[in-house]
Structure 1
Amino acid sequence: MTTTEHLLDLSDFAWQRLRDRLTGLTDEEYFWEPFDGCWSIHESADGFVADGAAIPPKPAPFTTLAWRITHIVDILQEDRTATWFGQQPAADDGQPPVPGSAAAALAALDHAYDVWRRRLAALTEDVLSRPMGAVAGPYAEHDGTSFALHILDELIHHGAEVGAVRDFYRGARAEDPFADALAGERTPAEHPALLAEAAAAQRWDVVPQLADLGFDVNARTADGFTAAHLAAGTGSLDTLRFLVERGADVSLTDPRYDADVLGWANWFQQTEAADYLTARTHAGSDA
């Protein structure tokens, strides 16, 4: 693989991880300020603007998801991710916006990443290895690879911050996601993957209750894992036995590892689960 291909692989991995972490983002969460004095974005006569200062205060203020996502958009889409590599921005690249809603932020992120990825993919080994020159100001003697890695570092570490803020937001509003179903207020038709999600949350106490309410034991999480995969991989033998007794199909494979339930038990070195599944298979063969 070329250096450009390695950089693209890392970039795509970091981008997809961030994009997945933003599923379900709402305006309330986008603008959430957990502390006084947060930097965020604010509406002005000319649209939304981001808080900032030429010399940021020390320590820096906590920044909202709106500020952080706007910053990532700016990092990826700004002109220097073209000009410092000796390129010219394309006519439809545009300038980085300050998105005024969660939906606008996701659209802006998608566009900014498309712009950055196209610019990155166009880099040759010569561009990556030579000094960037006067256009890069104080970084004139740095080569293209160092600048590409800097942008990727920005994407990775700000993406991690976005994920952490989402975790804080969820924790501050913690609710039992399965309570409505257990109270009979959510049906399998309304949320068919709920039993698999309970297994993903390792709420093993909830799995039998959801099965009793008619939730599908072979349902999959958004990642394509069944409850049986998760029980086997975590060594939750009682839950695994229960699922099998309730008709869980242990031959189903997952999209990430292309492994069945026994494959998960073996991969995660869950000996008791693997022995149980192997013995069950042999018993079926003998019959």
Structure 2
Amino acid sequence: MTTLSQDLLDLSDFAWQRLRDRVEGLTDDEYLWEPFEGCWSIRKTETGYVADGSPFAPEPAPFTTLAWRITHIVDILQEDRTATWFGHQPLAEDGQPPVPASAADALAALDHAYAVWRGRLAALSPEDLARPMGEVAGPYAEHAGSSFALHILDELIHHGAEVGTVRDFYRGVRAEDPFADALAGEVTPAERPALLAEAAAARRWEVVPQLAGLGFGISERTKSGATAAHVAAGTGELDSLRFLVEHGADLTLTDPRFGADVLGWANWGQQADVVAYLESL
């Protein structure tokens, strides 16, 4: 049986990896994007960047940009209280939370802030988690350390979800169709080798044969590690799976998330027809 400390670490790592995957490829334009007037973001001053804010937030709360949200997550994870409220002291190398000026700076700051938080969380003893935090926690003095750890994880989870939503919003208003670009000869297999797998992940089955004909790899993987055959098997797209098999799809590859091959995905998705087909090969 796992301990409370290990459960907290596992939840933290899971939430963190989900967020880190969602910010991969972030650009400066997206990082600083303000879709309408009145957004809170970060602003350049004579001494650096600062985040918009007020001790008394407007009602309703303003829309906050990715720059503001990521800066806020960095601050939550790295601020001194994620050590001191547990009765520990920050390490000299922990530093203070920055206000990142660019997307690249933001990703580096996120990585560092999470490393700081995880190190502090991993250092907590059962006694740290069980005892009241005391005067340092102000109105939460009587709350156990575990309640504060759960609060920080809640902040990571819900602000991470907001970041993902804003990225979806940004992508939606700047809709692109890389599959159409590939069919028009504007994207090549060398430039985007996993495009056929991406088409399967997006359920664009109608373009999969066309992309295969243009030389896009049948057994390439999406960022999450699934091939087109994994997706077809798991979602019951038997005709598409047959096409992939006939064109050399490697059915033995396992994905890193579930550690399952193509048949494993079919079984997990309860796709009886697909299972029967694969077992007949």
If the TM-score is normalised by the length of the shorter chain, which range does it land in?
A: over 0.9
Aligned to 1:183: 184
Aligned to 2:237: 236
String of CA shifts for 1:192-248, please: whole Å, max 9, x gaps.
Answer: 111111111110011000011111111111222111111111111111111111121
Establish whether residue 16 from structure 1 lines up as the match of residue 14 from structure 2.
no
Structure 1: gaps (5+ residues): 282-287
Whole-angstrom CA distance in 2 between matches of 1:211 and 1:204: 11
Q: CA deviation at 1:53?
A: 0.5
Aligned to 1:161: 162
Whole-angstrom CA distance in 1 between matches of 2:243 and 2:23: 34
Aligned to 2:274: 273
Larger Rg: 1
Give, as a single letter, the amino acid of the residue that structure 1 aligns with 2:216: F
String of CA shifts for 1:131-166, please: whole Å, max 9, x gaps.
Answer: 111111111111100011111100100000000000
String of CA shifts for 1:67-101, please: whole Å, max 9, x gaps.
Answer: 00000011011111111111111111111111110
Establish whether residue 215 from structure 1 lines up as the match of residue 212 from structure 2.
no
Establish whether residue 78 from structure 1 lines up as the match of residue 79 from structure 2.
yes
Whole-angstrom CA distance in 1 between matches of 2:261 and 2:115: 36
Aligned to 2:196: 195
Higher mean alpha-carbon deviation, 251-260 vs 16-25, is at 251-260
Whole-angstrom CA distance in 1 between matches of 2:198 and 2:36: 31
Aligned to 2:63: 62
Q: TM-score, normalised by structure 1?
A: 0.95
Whole-angstrom CA distance in 2 between matches of 1:230 and 1:8: 30
Whole-angstrom CA distance in 2 between matches of 1:87 and 1:113: 17
Aligned to 1:284: none
Structure 2: gaps (5+ residues): none
Root-mean-square deviation (CA), in Å?
A: 1.0
String of CA shifts for 1:257-287, please: whole Å, max 9, x gaps.
Answer: 22222221111011121122222x2xxxxxx
Q: What's the secondary structure of 2:205's corresponding residue?
A: coil
Whole-angstrom CA distance in 2 between matches of 1:219 and 1:163: 25
Whole-angstrom CA distance in 1 between matches of 2:94 and 2:259: 39
Whole-angstrom CA distance in 2 between matches of 1:257 and 1:98: 36
Whole-angstrom CA distance in 2 between matches of 1:67 and 1:86: 29
String of CA shifts for 1:7-66, please: whole Å, max 9, x gaps.
Answer: 111111111110110000000000011121000000001100000011111110000000
Whole-angstrom CA distance in 1 between matches of 2:251 and 2:90: 52
Whole-angstrom CA distance in 2 between matches of 1:193 and 1:228: 13
Give the fraction of aligned pairs with identical amino acids, expressed as a percent. 76
2:33–2:65: 8 Å Cα contact kept in structure 1? yes
Whole-angstrom CA distance in 2 between matches of 1:19 and 1:154: 15
Q: What's the secondary structure of 1:43's corresponding residue?
A: strand
Q: CA deviation at 1:105?
A: 0.6
Q: What's the secondary structure of 1:257's corresponding residue?
A: coil
Aligned to 2:114: 113
Aligned to 2:151: 150
Higher mean alpha-carbon deviation, 150-159 vs 239-248, is at 239-248
2:129–2:145: 8 Å Cα contact kept in structure 1? yes
Q: CA deviation at 1:254?
A: 2.1
> Which of structure 1's runs of 4+ aligned residues deviate more than 6 A?
none
2:40–2:52: 8 Å Cα contact kept in structure 1? yes
Aligned to 1:37: 38
Q: TM-score, normalised by structure 2?
A: 0.97
Whole-angstrom CA distance in 2 between matches of 1:138 and 1:220: 50
Whole-angstrom CA distance in 1 between matches of 2:232 and 2:6: 37
